[in-house]
Structure 1
């Protein structure tokens, strides 16, 4: 009996400790969500300051122009900051393959047979210790020009993010500016074997690389003659291609311009490195850092850690990690804990598209944020296109509620179609209700892609890049942005009224979000309750409340582009009680345009607001 009592007591203590650990974990999570909203402005660096409007397909720099680091003047950065931005992601900064002769600066020429476009893919990095020479006024001083841009950005109160592409590098990786003692990827590889834990690449022994068969009448540089465009590329033995293709002759749709980096996972899937102990996902980055200190890491891990710390030392405030799910989560624990030890506030954003991996990459991999694409973005896109229901949005918040802060929201980025393109919504105004929902529905950061605020439609035929997405492969201009840049006055002097009105909407919305306490507080859905209890409230409407101790918000958006809706929005009693509202009438004012006021009438602890909402209109109503 005594043993049984001891056993029961032990179990009881264990349960209490488990509950305590869970509560501590929840407290830790809440303690990290005390700041205001974050807004990331993604800008494709070589396109921002380009004022050349020629836009010839496959055009050269001389024909189509290119933007520079120095185009981000104090005036330009002030205007970006005033849009309501906290972080700027300079996309395409690390030196990647480009089809332009820089040999007089010691840079080798790149082969059009393994380069996508003329300006090249920013995700085929050739040198991680330097920057794209296209972006410099003085190529010899290109690194110093970027360092000056980091300083200017900080002076204008903007945090700086750049890309790191850990899964693959350019086929011809060659760094000219390695720090002392640093060797290039593959320099010490044993190329006679397919795999070794400390090889940086996977090989196809005794087989030479072959350029893929180009499809659909594709020709490098659009068919222009070039001394290196001969259907050949010297790589012997062949390496695995970036997306994991193992053939020495990849398919045209493979990432043939890149090679896969080896992180110590054998071709049959065996992990040749230590794994995190059970329960370690609940430990902080300091414990993760300590865990790896005495472990032997594969060589590729060490190389990427050193690359990231190099940029942190130069003042970069964070990274966007390309295709992070293609790299083992243990590496992210190793890398991100090392970064956080140098800068605990570093902003670490990862491209992960598999929801079953989200929690591992956040908790084990110590990522701050992941793209919320396959759930929120894809669902909102369908609603904007007219064939999706707002009913499908609240369940996403429920599914992700334990990690909602970590799921970055966006409506555009360099991989996605422009809202205004016919292939997406065909009308930039359809982004307005979606943007209100995306920015206010959770505590997560918001991301805006440059030109989105003007309704850019991405319709240019740039060469390699296809219309609907602003090309990241070509020298091209971005017309709506160029009108705002206005010969580098950055004042909208050539913008249309519609473009300026749309930017004004973004500016109002984003600035509200970065100042609001409620948007870092609680969320409660109103949609399902009103769908069941309110006449004329349809699947084209979405509503919810956000609140903190000092700020109470009701947010409503109409996704219909034709119909005016009139209904009595109901606020359930549990919300009224949480807000400590007694029966009576409370004034609510719209925070977007400050032109409309509403009454919240509370009777018997239930609230009602008479709403008239126009097509594509949104309200952020605040109790006065």
Structure 2
């Protein structure tokens, strides 16, 4: 089961964790946004520096190669920074289950029957106090190599984000690196009962775990021989599976490689911990931190808090929390307030896919940012695919206006299809108007996924899973990125001119966003106004204004891949008044390429600017303060 398929399961589980909802009329205005927009560059650490182009399905680490921490050289990081990036999310850093044999370093071998792919899932963490041995030049010094990467990233003026996955851990969790006094998950559990408050896991008493029945001719490791591939895994009694499956034999689409963590919620949904007082969503993280100081909390809460603080101490600047909505919101209040007490500037980003839970996880759970997937991303994806209307976008911004700063925007990540894949849009250039809208429509952060800037299509058949998403489970190369890496020169020496042109677009756009005052200021939709008042304006075009101080922007974009549209774009009178425009002509210039210019003509009755926007073209038109 992938994450999108699991939304129904998550909806059911949200009843168990007991999250409350805020009625629309009770929405709270959130904290003031920071001074400038931020940009997160998600990079799958294992793949970034891999220059091996073999790409054999189910290939071993020797056959297909693997990237290392050390591949993120000063040059590589400076180039990522130069793209317009402020934060780098190193995906797949904590030590998760892998098939490569590291037993000579004291690391137990992992069973392919409960590992997805040959390289393993980064979301089946085996040891939270160390890092993936695949990523180190010297396995014994793997933690030190990651600490050096943190230092290099900071030197490049990049903040560092890593994953924490509180909802589940690997079936074979076993830390070799626990700090003094820290015990493994489940070490003190009473396994004779399904649930106990301080058990770290849920159990199926008197039943042994059974490996799922594999379907569609799937075989672990693609059918290659391995001493542990026998259709068995020793777990007695069986534990609940990570997505909440309670059977000793999970299904193939369950997250069978993981076990669900118990946060003090009984199997019938009762919370056995203190809840936040009414109105506490309006309190800051300091008050939340103080609230928990005299409270007894479940053991799993303490374990994950200590893990987060361990990495903060190492210099990590923030976390991306996997499937946060499957964990009680009270835990997040406890966890995130402790993180913020240690580092008030920590960057806390989470997956929450149910809009009715957004405000709880921001206000009560003290998340900084949530994925804006099921509203903005899904809507823009449909438009890019040719069967959606831009008319649907303004209402999304209206619905989220009280929390818009906290809704991170993206067009790709490791869970989603590559834009250039036939299954998504089949054309990397279709990302251009979508990216302009995604990056400029609100004060929220923007995220891009490594290779997106080159038009990567994710077409490699890596092993576990299917093409269209760059594999996170196997050793594989990323061809467009490899051409830019150019034998670790990181100069685009083997890139095509189309790839370099696309990267140049992303660089121009992202750098503009992180330096713009207007993009941290006011927003107003002018799309509907023009739909009603402008000839030739249509539902494949979108326009809005952004402004703050002297910076006044009109953003217009054309999602159509075939047609040019020309029209006299109109501004409502309230915008003319807000901008203090008197009658006359105002010069306007596009801020992306500094080539397109036009004139905003303001009269008593109307304000209009001529726009001729080519297929997949966008303009960020800045009003010159002088007539």
TM-score, reference length from structure 2: 0.95
Partners of 2:115 and 2:321 in 1: CA distance: 21
Q: Which residue of 2 aligns with 1:29?
A: 31
Matches within 5 A, 1:341-356: 341-356=341-356
Q: Which residue of 2 aligns with 1:41?
A: 41
Higher deviation after alignment, 157-166 or 598-607:
598-607
Q: Which residue of 1 aligns with 2:311?
A: 311
Q: CA offsets, 1:132-191, max 9 Å, x none?
A: 000000000000000000000000000000000000000000000000000000000000
Q: Is the 8 A contact 1:454 1:502 kept in 2?
A: yes
Q: Is the 8 A contact 1:114 1:211 kept in 2?
A: yes
The secondary structure found in structure 2 opposite 1:129 is strand
Tell me, yes or no, if structure 1 residue 555 matches structure 2 residue 555.
yes
Partners of 1:329 and 1:400 in 2: CA distance: 20
Tell me, yes or no, if structure 1 residue 360 matches structure 2 residue 360.
yes
Partners of 1:310 and 1:465 in 2: CA distance: 33
Compute the displacement of 1:538 (Å). 0.5
Q: Is the 8 A contact 1:585 1:600 kept in 2?
A: yes
Matches within 5 A, 1:157-172: 157-172=157-172
Q: Which residue of 2 aligns with 1:503?
A: 503
Compute the displacement of 1:35 (Å). 1.2
Q: CA offsets, 1:192-219, max 9 Å, x none?
A: 0000010000000111000011101000
Compute the displacement of 1:466 (Å). 1.1
Q: Is the 8 A contact 1:46 1:134 kept in 2?
A: yes
Partners of 1:46 and 1:495 in 2: CA distance: 21
Q: Which residue of 2 aligns with 1:604?
A: 604
Partners of 2:156 and 2:362 in 1: CA distance: 30
Q: Is the 8 A contact 1:581 1:605 kept in 2?
A: no
The secondary structure found in structure 2 opposite 1:152 is helix
Q: Which residue of 2 aligns with 1:409?
A: 409
Matches within 5 A, 1:123-272: 123-272=123-272
Q: Which residue of 1 aligns with 2:70?
A: 70
Q: Which residue of 2 aligns with 1:3?
A: none
The secondary structure found in structure 1 opposite 2:543 is strand
Q: Is the 8 A contact 1:95 1:131 kept in 2?
A: yes
Q: Which residue of 2 aligns with 1:521?
A: 521
The secondary structure found in structure 1 opposite 2:169 is strand
The secondary structure found in structure 2 opposite 1:393 is helix
Compute the displacement of 1:306 (Å). 0.1
Q: Which residue of 1 aligns with 2:9?
A: none
Partners of 2:269 and 2:408 in 1: CA distance: 30
Unaligned runs of 5+ in 2: 1-25
Q: Which residue of 2 aligns with 1:7?
A: none
Partners of 1:85 and 1:486 in 2: CA distance: 21
The secondary structure found in structure 2 opposite 1:29 is coil
The secondary structure found in structure 1 opposite 2:334 is helix
Partners of 2:214 and 2:623 in 1: CA distance: 61
Compute the displacement of 1:498 (Å). 0.2
Q: Which residue of 2 aligns with 1:93?
A: 93
Q: Is the 8 A contact 1:577 1:605 kept in 2?
A: no
Q: Which residue of 2 aligns with 1:16?
A: none
Q: CA offsets, 1:483-519, max 9 Å, x none?
A: 0000000000000000000000000000000000000
Partners of 2:86 and 2:600 in 1: CA distance: 33
Matches within 5 A, 1:387-398: 387-398=387-398
* CA 1:174–1:566: 2 relative to 1, 3 Å: same
Q: CA offsets, 1:331-387, max 9 Å, x none?
A: 000000000000001000000000000000000000000000000000000000000
Compute the displacement of 1:273 (Å). 0.2
Q: Which residue of 2 aligns with 1:492?
A: 492
Matches within 5 A, 1:296-445: 296-445=296-445
Q: CA offsets, 1:541-580, max 9 Å, x none?
A: 0000000012000000000000010110000110000000
Q: CA offsets, 1:368-417, max 9 Å, x none?
A: 00000000000000000000000000000000000000000000000000
Compute the displacement of 1:29 (Å). 1.8
Q: CA offsets, 1:453-472, max 9 Å, x none?
A: 00000000001131000000
Partners of 1:600 and 1:474 in 2: CA distance: 54
Higher deviation after alignment, 603-612 or 143-152:
603-612
Partners of 1:125 and 1:550 in 2: CA distance: 49
Q: Which residue of 2 aligns with 1:119?
A: 119
Partners of 1:234 and 1:53 in 2: CA distance: 37
Partners of 1:50 and 1:605 in 2: CA distance: 60
Structure 1 runs of 4+ off > 2 angstroms? none
Q: Which residue of 2 aligns with 1:5?
A: none
Partners of 1:587 and 1:314 in 2: CA distance: 51
Q: Which residue of 1 aligns with 2:17?
A: none
The secondary structure found in structure 2 opposite 1:277 is coil
Q: Which residue of 2 aligns with 1:12?
A: none
Q: CA offsets, 1:87-110, max 9 Å, x none?
A: 000000000000010000000000
Partners of 2:308 and 2:369 in 1: CA distance: 17
Cα RMSD after superposing both structures: 0.9
Compute the displacement of 1:596 (Å). 1.0
Compute the displacement of 1:606 (Å). 2.7
Q: Which residue of 2 aligns with 1:574?
A: 574
Partners of 2:470 and 2:606 in 1: CA distance: 48
Q: Which residue of 1 aligns with 2:449?
A: 449
Partners of 2:606 and 2:299 in 1: CA distance: 62
Partners of 1:229 and 1:123 in 2: CA distance: 21
Partners of 1:479 and 1:346 in 2: CA distance: 34
Partners of 1:270 and 1:526 in 2: CA distance: 48
Compute the displacement of 1:605 (Å). 5.8
TM-score, reference length from structure 1: 0.95
The secondary structure found in structure 1 opposite 2:553 is strand
Q: Is the 8 A contact 1:352 1:370 kept in 2?
A: yes
Compute the displacement of 1:286 (Å). 0.3
Q: CA offsets, 1:275-294, max 9 Å, x none?
A: 00000000000000000000
Aligned length in residues: 599
Q: Is the 8 A contact 1:583 1:605 kept in 2?
A: no
Q: Which has the larger radius of gyration?
A: 1
Q: Is the 8 A contact 1:166 1:321 kept in 2?
A: yes
Partners of 1:217 and 1:50 in 2: CA distance: 29
Q: Is the 8 A contact 1:465 1:474 kept in 2?
A: no
